[in-house]
Chains A and B, each alone.
Chain A
Amino acid sequence: MVNFFPALMVPDVLLVVVALWTARIGFEKTWPRAILAGLMLDLIFFWPPGVNIISLVVVSYLVSFLAKRFLISQKGWKFIFLVILTVISTIILHLIYYLVSTTLLLSENYMKMGAESIFSIGIIYKIMANLVILFVVYWPVKKVEDFLSMFNQSVISTKR
């Protein structure tokens, strides 16, 4: 995945997926998935486990908070709201990276360097890359969740 994108435009795929899941099924069900996704990211990035877990769980909570208050049932508005959520989630994720790296991990200079992109044009590139990923994964995630909910309903009706 890294080789397809130029520097500063590597998208946060798991961030977009976690935000989408939270907007669709809520924080309660997404919370364990956010923890798993965060742990995987920490292992891939060679960061101390816990950093990405904190970031994704906080983003998931905030997305859930906003989604319950602003999500409108009409389909057109829903997608525009998801675009706005993606932008906000990207900014919050990188803000958390920066805060964690400056308060907890002062020796991990490489993390601070990556996190400091929030104060440069790098954050714009990140947002653009994440919006591209949103367009790519929105319908597959929707289909997977619809399939899983249909599957659960058929299992429940069979048991009855």
Chain B
Amino acid sequence: MEIGYWILFVSRFLVIGYLKQMSRNYFTPKLTKLIATVLVCVLLVFLNPKGIFNPARTLFWTASYPFQKTFYIISQKTRNTFEFLGSISDLKAENENLIKENNNLVGELVGLKDVKKTNENLEEQLKLIPKNKYDLEASYVIGQDPQKLGSWIMIDKGSANGIAPDMPVIVGEGILVGKTSEVYPYSSKVELLTSASSSVNALDIETGAKGLVRGEYGLGIVLDMVEQSEVLNVGDMVITSGLGGNVGRGLYIGAITQIKTSDDRLFQEAVISPRIKYSKLDVVFVIKK
């Protein structure tokens, strides 16, 4: 029994000595730095939801704005040049198609003049905001999601120009592309409709079916949460419904290309084809009022 106690007593010192030797061998300064960095960063990732790095981010985007705008415009022009050189062989065929299309469009234009008048009457009846009454802020696109996920773009206007978060962003005659999400003094981040965190109340203009338009990781847009009793048709146009939030009614989103049932079979879903390609955006308009 006593021998057992002595063995335990001596072996305790041997084990402690071995562990100390092991820690000297394995926990080198390099490994210690790595572990310390990883632990601190994991803490930072958890703390970030409280927005502690927002001042650093604001400073970064304010300082980088002049360089970002310049380099983005240069890169756009360079890309367009390369695309042009690559498409020379297709130009002749495209030219012939465009001439035919132009002739058809002239004929359509005559009929559309009548439709325009009817549309103005309908706008008044449905209380849609006339496009020429928007307070628009024109902005150049100066950056986009580096991961190419079609989630967001940067524009060259910020709080100094009266931009605030959650303002709708359009192109052309009222085609919605997204909403401002983060605003810095001279630039703003615009969350595109194809972003997974984007959601806009919308309706089918033909049938009146209401739903929620959300993005799918930059790949497309889906009109979700449409009740089974509502009617959706392929080809129908989808516009903003103006319900909740700051996005007014009547902004065009896209056309339905596919209809399916949600996984839980409670709602219908419609895949929407956006009117424009977000990676080609140059100029957008922020609706301030």
Contacts and interface: CB of A to CB of B under 8 A. Distances in A.
Interface of A: 1-8, 10, 27-28, 31, 35, 40, 43-46, 48-51, 53-54, 57-58, 61, 64, 100, 104-105, 109-110, 113-114
Contacts, number: 105
Contacts of A46: 57, 152, 182, 189
B217 A110 contact: yes
A2 B144 contact: yes
B38 to A, nearest CB: 5
A96 B145 CA distance: 20
Most buried by A among B43, B145, B152: B145
Interface residues of B, number: 43
A66 to B, nearest CB: 13
A1 B75 contact: yes
Nearest to A34: B37
12 contacts: A3-B144, A27-B33, A49-B45, A49-B48, A49-B53, A50-B43, A57-B41, A61-B31, A61-B34, A110-B147, A110-B195, A110-B196
Contact of A53 (B29, B37, B46, B218): B37
Contact of A110 (B29, B43, B79, B149): B149
A109 B151 CA distance: 11
A10 B148 contact: yes
Nearest to A39: B56
Interface of B: 29-31, 33-34, 37-38, 40-46, 48-49, 53, 56-57, 60-61, 71-72, 75-76, 78-79, 143-149, 151-152, 182, 189, 195-197, 217-218
Contacts of B143: 2
B42 A104 contact: yes
Helix, strand, loop or mixed for chain A's interface? helix
Contact of A113 (B33, B41, B149, B182): B149
Nearest to A54: B41
A58 B36 CA distance: 11
- Of listed A2, A40, A61, residue having the most chain B CB within 10 A: A2
| Of listed B30, B37, B49, B189, residue having the most chain A CB within 10 A | B37
Given A61-B34, A110-B151, A3 B79 contact: yes
Nearest to A117: B147
Given A3-B75, A31-B33, A8 B38 contact: no
Contacts of A58: 34, 38
A105 B45 contact: yes
Nearest to A109: B196
Contacts of B42: 50, 54, 104
B39 to A, nearest CB: 10
Contact of B196 (A10, A44, A48, A113): A113
Contacts of A7: 148
A50 B44 contact: yes
Given A2-B148, A4-B78, A44-B146, A109 B197 contact: yes
A51 B137 CA distance: 35
Contacts of B31: 61
A54 B78 CA distance: 34
A54 B48 CA distance: 15
Contacts of A105: 45
A110 B144 contact: no
Contacts of A45: 145-147
B37 A57 contact: yes
A4 B149 contact: no
A49 B54 CA distance: 10
Contact of A4 (B37, B79, B145, B152): B79
